[in-house]
Amino acid sequence: MLGIPLAVSDYERVMDWMEKMIADGSRGYLTAAAVNLVMSAYEDAHARAAVLGATLAVPDGQPLVWALRALGHASATRIYGPDLMAGFCARAARQGIPMFLYGGRSTEALTRLEERLHGRFPGLAIAGGHSPPFRDLTDAEEEHVAAEINSSGAAVVWVGIGQPKQELWMARMRARLTPPLLVGVGAAFDFHSGLVAQAPPWMQRAGLEWAFRLSREPRRLWRRYARYNPMFIGAFARQYVRHRRKPRR
């Protein structure tokens, strides 16, 4: 999709893959890619390198699923970051897989997220958490974060600091972190902590989640959607025309 490889899969197979990464002791990172991440990668070389460096990228946005299907991938389905996180937390609670939470709007918000996850998934092992400041970390701060995560014993690090910031962070930190799997899930922390309401299912199915989120946080999100939504439509239209013009075998 516009130069970004997106997995054609489903929740169960992706979670099976995550479990295998952990069992094998492999090291990688997964990103649940929304339209704004694909477009960030489309226009920015650093974001593109971070996304292309992911071990697996799944289509988080419904428009990406429609676009994949238009390109001939009829079985493409949405792998929504918040739902992937919830599904894997349920597995982790049953199997004792420890996890670390990196993100959140504040330390208080991260504490609230931990409490809600524990309440929803009894027995879930949260090995630690860290809410970074809204700025680039210093080298010393990054060293501290790496040491904190590595000493926690976590097998999965959920990363919720927004796209493409979280992909840049995962790409930069991957070699320094011992947990097998880093997973970027965007706004999942806000949703699961209850700080931000999720769009109704019908709006998600209709590809209108962006409109719901814009109505709730207009000052924070209007520039993103005003820039990237039209850009995606135009860029994908060009890709689709090229796809249709390819000779069929």
Q: Residue 219: inside a domain, yes or no?
A: no
Listed as own residue / partner, the contacts of 67-76 with beta carbons closer than 8 Å and 24 or more positions apart are: 67/1, 67/236, 67/240, 68/1, 68/6, 68/8, 70/240, 71/1, 71/239, 71/240, 71/243, 72/243, 73/8, 75/8, 76/6, 76/8
Categorize the per-residue pLDDT at 70 as very low, low, confident or very high, splitting at 50, 70 and 90: very high
Q: Domain of residue 108: give its range.
A: 11-197
Domain count, the chain: 1
For 88-134, write each residue's pLDDT tens digit.
999 999 999 999 999 988 899 999 999 999 999 999 999 999 999 88
Q: Is the pLDDT of residue 6 over 90?
A: yes
Write down the pLDDT at residue 109. 92
**Dihedral, CA of residue 95, residue 98, residue 100 and residue 106, to nearest 10:** 70
Q: Is the pLDDT of residue 248 over 70?
A: no
- Strands of 25-162 (E only): list them: 28-33, 56-59, 99-103, 126-130, 156-160
Categorize the per-residue pLDDT at 67 as very low, low, confident or very high, splitting at 50, 70 and 90: very high
For 156-213, write each residue's pLDDT tens digit.
999 999 999 999 999 999 999 999 999 999 889 999 998 888 888 888 888 888 888 8
Write down the pLDDT at residue 49. 97
Contact yes or no for 83/11 (Cβ under 8 A): yes
Other residues' Cβ atoms within 10 Å of the Cβ of residue 103: 27
Q: Residue 37: inside a domain, yes or no?
A: yes
Asked whether the CA dihedral 172, 81, 216, 104 is positive or negative, the reply is: negative
Q: Residue 62: inside a domain, yes or no?
A: yes
Q: Residue 40: inside a domain, yes or no?
A: yes
Write down the pLDDT at residue 153. 95
User: What span, in angstroms and rounded, lies between the C-alpha atoms of 89 and 32?
Assistant: 16
Write down the pLDDT at residue 186. 84
Q: Is the pLDDT of residue 249 over 80?
A: no
Categorize the per-residue pLDDT at 154 as very low, low, confident or very high, splitting at 50, 70 and 90: very high
Other residues' Cβ atoms within 10 Å of the Cβ of residue 99: 25
Categorize the per-residue pLDDT at 10 as very low, low, confident or very high, splitting at 50, 70 and 90: very high
Write down the pLDDT at residue 221. 83
Q: Residue 144: inside a domain, yes or no?
A: yes
Write down the pLDDT at residue 247. 75
> What does DSSP say about strands 99-103 and 156-160: parallel, antiparallel, or unpaired?
parallel
| Token reading at 33 | 């890619």
- Strands of the chain (E only): list them: 28-33, 56-59, 99-103, 126-130, 156-160, 181-184
Q: Residue 231: inside a domain, yes or no?
A: no
Starting at the earlier edge strand, list the strands of the sheet with 56-59. 56-59, 28-33, 181-184, 156-160, 99-103, 126-130
For 22-65, write each residue's pLDDT tens digit.
999 999 999 999 999 999 999 999 999 999 999 999 999 899 99
Taking residues 63-86, report their average pLDDT: 95
| Token reading at 238 | 């060009």
Q: Residue 176: inside a domain, yes or no?
A: yes
User: What span, in angstroms and rounded, lies between the C-alpha atoms of 57 and 99?
Assistant: 20
Three-state secondary-structure class, residue 32 = strand
Q: Residue 38: inside a domain, yes or no?
A: yes
What's 72's domain CATH number?
3.40.50
